[in-house]
Amino acid sequence: MSQAATAATAPQPGGEEEIIEGLIARARVAMEALADADQARVDEAVTALAWAIYEPTRARELAELAVKETGLGNVESKVIKNQRKTFGALRDLMRAKTVGVIAEDKAKGIVKYGKPVGVVAAVSPSTNPSATPVNKAMMAIKGANAVIIAPSPAGHAPTSKTVDYMRAELVKIGLPADLVQVLPAPVNKALTQGLMEACDLVVVTGSQNNVRRAYSSGTPAIGVGAGNVSVIVDSSADLKDAAAKITMSKIFDNSTSCSSENSLIILDDVYDDAIAALMENGGYRTSAEEKSKIQDTLWVDGHLNRHVIAKGADVFAVEAGLGEDAAKAAFFIVEDENPGPDTPFADEKLSLVLTVYRASDFDDAVAQFRKIMDVCGKGHSIGIHTKDMDHANRLAEELEVVRVLVNQAHTFGTGGSFTNGLEFTLSMGCGTWAGNSISENLNYRNFINVTHLVTEIPEDKPSEDELFGGHWSKFGK
């Protein structure tokens, strides 16, 4: 790998302010290489970034390094994530226009031009130290921007290696490596804060503390809300299909995803059969005593225990003293009732623990959804397994969430799928319900400014009667 490709991942001299000034300056110089680039050239850069992590040897190397350094998740899932998310995002990005004329509406006399937002600070979590940086870098470069990655301290090594690969691929196609940079080690809050204050746009995936700090940085910011996905298993559900999808989603990467199912609400008339189907797929139904052990292990002084979150079932079972049968399971079923702020199992667990509630009818199921979201996860996503689309429509109409997935494995659907229309991303906006500025999957549109060229059109002015007639006839003048 060339010296230019690795320069930004090496230790930087000087204090925090000097480090940030140097990174920003290099990013702005690098952006000049894309200032006059057409869409084809920008797309070459995006494809190069995708290949940096999609290449099979690197996808596995980075997955192994991520698990080794962070202790979170598992290698095989991260290999899939590195490749699947990147491939899907590349598909979406190759279909979009972001530079030059991006849209034209002749009837309204408007031509839209895509322009860069500038230098993007991309704050990334330890749960996805490779896939998220590449995902954000692809979107940023798609808008002809430069990006500086701010990794979590625990994920710095895999993130830095990922950035090295992205820089090398940019150099290979004749573009400046400094279009993608990373904060040098040791990363701390002050360094990340300095970057957020100096850049042109902050995009944060990770802790809600980081999201709040981004919003208060004085820089335009896009943050995401906390996950805590709940899913209804309806009376009409295909229980075999639902159990298989729920299991596949729950165990992926040891439940590190914010889209992983944290709770199920099962209708009473199918409850026993649904539990049986989950057990057939590897779920371990815990006793009251085991539930108590899990609670004491999973939460320590009110906080999630890093020794068991995102760990395999065998590790969790040993730590909680659950026994050999539990250690062989795929995940743990904990039955609970009356979700609320005083019941910790209603919260996000980031572990192979799946809380299950029994609902007397669909109204009760909806009410329990609301109670869970009042604890955590409002705005993010929910799901339902059903054959009754009226029930699915009701959830979309009534509940304060951005995404309602129907008959899908949440981890593979919420952030975009080849079998649904959501855009591929690792950052899910949750609307004002979660204090976010976007209510969609983070995508290329969030990384461009748009100039509107406006020309005159034939007058489009309705009469007073057309606009006020209905009001006058009903209420008078």
Active site residues: 258
The encoded tokens of residue 145 equal 């921007």
Whether residue 373 contacts residue 365, with contact meaning beta carbons closer than 8 Å, is answered with no
Dmax (CA) for the chain in angstroms is 79
